[in-house]
Amino acid sequence: MGMIRPKNYRIHLEPDLERFEFSGRAEILLETLQPVSEVTLDSLNLDLIGCVARAGGELLKCSYTLDAKEEALSVSLPQKISGEAELLIDY
């Protein structure tokens, strides 16, 4: 993430103690140093439900791929974003 700086993380978790699982949402405030169309994050053992980006007052639905071997989540943005943006990831 050399062109992207995380500024703030908000994590909400809802544990299911009977099934030993959890669901939740990560809200990540980012600052991009130049326009970007993809964000890669560390990820381990997450089943994603969806991902959107909030940039310039718009909500943009994002596609994503999980690489279990590399423990990475790659989020593809539908358009390049620059400046501040927020990723909203549901799992």
- pLDDT tens per residue across span 8-63: 999 999 999 999 888 999 999 999 999 999 999 998 888 889 999 999 889 999 99
- Amino acid sitting at position 15: P
Q: What is the pLDDT at residue 47?
A: 85
C-alpha distance from residue 82 to each of 9, 14, 15 (Å)? 18, 32, 35
Q: No. of H helices and E strands in the chain?
A: 0, 6
Q: What is the pLDDT at residue 2?
A: 63
Inter-residue contact 81 to 31 (CB < 8 Å): no
Does residue 1 carry a pLDDT above 50? no
Task: Say whether pTM exceeds 0.75.
Answer: yes
